[in-house]
Structure formats: structure tokens, C-alpha cells
Amino acid sequence: MKISVVMPAYNEAKIIEENAKRVDDFLAKTYKNYELIIVDDGSKDATGEIAQNLAISRKNIKVITYPFNRGKGAAVKAGVMAADGDYILFTDSDLAYAPEHLADAAEALEKNDIAIGSRYIREDKSKYRFKRKIISKIFIEYTNLVFKTDYSDIQAGIKGFRRDVAKDIFSKITIFGFGFDVEVLALAKVNGYSVGEFAVEVSSQRKSSKVRVIKDSFKMFFNVWSVHWRVL
């Protein structure tokens, strides 16, 4: 059994080394066979260089980099398509979710094709700002209504896939921004893949989060219908 973890990163020079080491250390003590793939999504700072230097000293870290920013969905896709683990997971490079949740994702994949993190399975103790939390919950209900699903969360930045399922779904996605999660779950539904949820808790909320609550929310609501008509 091999575990692959994909970490998309854009302009994360201040944190990428420390956070990648945290994930690598956790994987090393938990799994005998693993890889950590850092995807530099066309960063304008030294993210790629720092990641490359880290890969020299840590044999299980690999780095993918390209010159132009393409979006989180594109970065996750690049990492997934390069991964060769039996289970392929992704998590945000700011480690909004502790590395230990990766083991929860892997455990959920023992019974499901796809495992998605949920901030809302347990009592809601997430540290997100109130406005963002309300918009998130509205978006979840809206998406469930459109797709006739019942997920408690959709956009937590930690998910896992069995290898063949990951390759199939990510070879087909066309949304490369923050709304790619919607397309992933729509493709899962239309292909009949089983989806399990596992509880996660937000461990950090950076003031410099790249999610622009209002502007990106409009885009994601639009993505729901574009995915609905294209995929379903």
C-alpha cells in the first residue's frame, strides 16, 4: 500500500518548508511507503525554489512547478496525475487541517472510492469567520439541492481517492479554480463512485487566505450550474 499526498501551493514561501516538513514527518512515522508531491502553481515568490531544495534533502518529497498560475484545481490535477499511490490524497499547503486527518482520509478509503473531509459532521467548532461560515453552509445546501446529494461539506480542502478513481475523475475536470470540488463530486455521482465523509477540524485560519469570500462565492455558485448542465 502506497500513499500519495498532493499539496498545491501558490506564493507560500513563508510557510511551505515548515508545513511540508510537518506532513512529511507525519507520513514517515505512519506509512512505510508514501510520497509527498508539492505543486508550485506558478508562484511569484520563492515557493518553488524552497520546495525544490527541500526535495533534495527529503527523498519522499517530489516537486512539480510551472511558470504561470493556473488555479488550485489545476495544481491538484497536476499532482494527482503524477501520483502513483494506491490512495491519492490532497490537502491545503497552509495546513488548515492537521496532517493527522490524512490518516482519517486513508481509513475512509478502505470502504469508499472517495473520502471527503467535513467540518460539520461533529459540533461546528470551525475557526472560520462568521460571514465565511454562513456562505459556506448556504453553498453546501444549494449544491446538494441542485445535485440531489446530501453531503455535510463539499469544499473542505482535504480529500482522498483510490488511484483508479482519482485518475479517471481528474483527467476529466475542466474547472481549475476553487470550484473544482463541485465538478469532482458531480463526476463521482455520474460515474457511480461511492463517497464517504470523515470529520475534520479547522486548525488554522490565515488572514491572508486566498479565498475572496464574495467574489469567489459568485464564481462557485455559477460553477454549480455550469457543472450541472455539462456533467449531469
Q: Strand 61-66's sheet: what is its strand order?
A: 61-66, 34-41, 3-9, 87-91, 158-162, 114-118, 195-199
One digit per residue, pLDDT tens: the chain, 232 residues? 999 999 999 999 999 999 999 999 999 999 999 999 999 999 999 999 999 999 999 999 999 999 999 999 999 999 999 999 999 999 999 999 999 999 999 999 999 999 999 999 875 555 555 666 788 888 899 899 999 999 999 989 999 999 999 999 999 999 998 789 999 999 999 999 999 999 999 886 444 555 555 556 667 777 887 887 777 6
For residue 95, being part of any structural domain is answered with: yes
For residue 232, being part of any structural domain is answered with: no
For residue 115, being part of any structural domain is answered with: yes
Total domains, the chain: 1
Question: Which structural domain, as residue segments, surrounds residue 24?
Answer: 3-127+153-176+194-205
For residue 37, being part of any structural domain is answered with: yes
* Residue bearing cell 478502505: 110
For residue 85, being part of any structural domain is answered with: yes
What's this model's pTM, rounded to 2 decimal places?
0.90
